[in-house]
Amino acid sequence: MSQRANRVFVTREIPEAGLSRVLAACDAVVWREPLPPPREVLLERVVGCHGLLSLLTDRVDAELMDAAGAQLRVISNFAVGVNNIDLAEASRRGIRVGNTPDVLTDATADLAFALLIAAARRIVSGQDSIRAGHWRTWEPLGHIGVDLIGKVLGIVGMGRIGAALARRCHGGWGMRVLYTDPNRNHSAEKELAAERVDLDTLLRSADFVSVHTDLSDSTCGMFDRAAFRRMQRHAVFVNTARGPIHDPAALHEALATGQIFAAGLDVTDPEPIALDDPLLGLPNCVIVPHIASATVASRNGMAEIAADNLLAGLRGLPLRCCVNPG
């Protein structure tokens, strides 16, 4: 079968760097609306498809795979995280699943650091105070934040992105690095003198706690009331991984009662966050709309890998980045 005979559904417009290759090679339909396809549209558009290029906003489960049909060979997710896909179900059916790692590592670590420093130095509440007309003079006691130099960074999930943030904080700010991870990261231990500790030790010792783990049954709700209570009162919490890893009510309580100093979030649960969510009313919570990979190079790189994964899967070849190689 020629590649052009392969039917593909692309669930949103992605950068041309990848999209043009998919359109040239396949019989592809692209959902070009600004919002994701509603569930019933997704279920209808995948019927008869050999490949699916999905986003983290699309739930790809057994129902969807059933709707597509037995010819579905590859799911190429335009994201490094694949928690939106039922991997066990895809593997059981022999469907290969691809993701887009590496190309977004630096952009994500940069954003985690931006959130860390913005929350620590009260940058957003400072800007809000100007806009509200409250800047009357230079204040010796106003807008006091926390220092970064020589502090302790706690990384939860020392993979590529966790290590990239640790490199910035250790090299640039002389921070001591603690981490938790089911696996040892030997290069982080060697290069950054990172110490693997248990979560309790990390929470009690770190001045900055940054989350870089996958969302799974074991990490969902990991940052609950008990976790925030173990953190220091001057601590800053950063989450650029997935929203459900922290309990929003517990985080609100910790921030509102001064159990921790501040938080910086790129991810929320749900997304988008509701406009009346109490976290949005807190001056010590900086929130941005899941933009960690939103740079030109990262998004182009993601599009290229997503296209490579899709086209390889359609040809029955190994994917460039496969999360269930079989």
Binding stretches for ligand GLV (CB under 6 A) = 56, 79-81, 104, 293
Q: What angle do CA 156, 263, 187 make, to 5 degrees?
A: 25
* 170 versus 299: smaller Cβ distance to ligand GLV: 299
Smallest CA-to-CA distance from 58 within 89, 83, 33 is with 83
- Cα–chain-centroid distance for residue 66? 28
* 282 versus 322: smaller Cβ distance to ligand GLV: 322
* Shortest reach from residue 295's CB to ligand GLV, in Å: 12
* Shortest reach from residue 321's CB to ligand GLV, in Å: 12
290 is catalytic: yes
Strands (E), 84-227: 96-98, 152-156, 176-180, 195-196, 208-211
* Shortest reach from residue 108's CB to ligand GLV, in Å: 8
Burial class (CB in 10 A: 0-12, 13-18, 19+), 202: buried
39 is catalytic: no
Question: How many whole angstroms separate alpha carbon 43 and alpha carbon 277?
Answer: 31
DSSP 14: -
In this structure, how many other beta carbons lie within 10 angstroms of the beta carbon of residue 252? 18
Question: How many whole angstroms separate alpha carbon 283 and alpha carbon 21?
Answer: 45
Q: Which residues contact 208 (CB under 8 A, 6 or more apart)?
A: 116, 120, 148, 151, 152, 153, 154, 169, 175, 235, 236, 238
Q: Which of 50, 290, 299, 320 is catalytic?
A: 290
* 104 versus 153: smaller Cβ distance to ligand GLV: 104
Q: Which of 242, 246, 252, 320 is catalytic?
A: 242
* 36 versus 81: smaller Cβ distance to ligand GLV: 81
Q: Which of 13, 16, 44, 271 is catalytic?
A: 271
* 210 versus 293: smaller Cβ distance to ligand GLV: 293
Which tokens is 131 given?
A: 């806009």
253 is catalytic: no
My answer on whether omega of the bond before 272 falls inside 30° of 0, hence cis, is yes
- Catalytic positions, please? 242, 271, 290
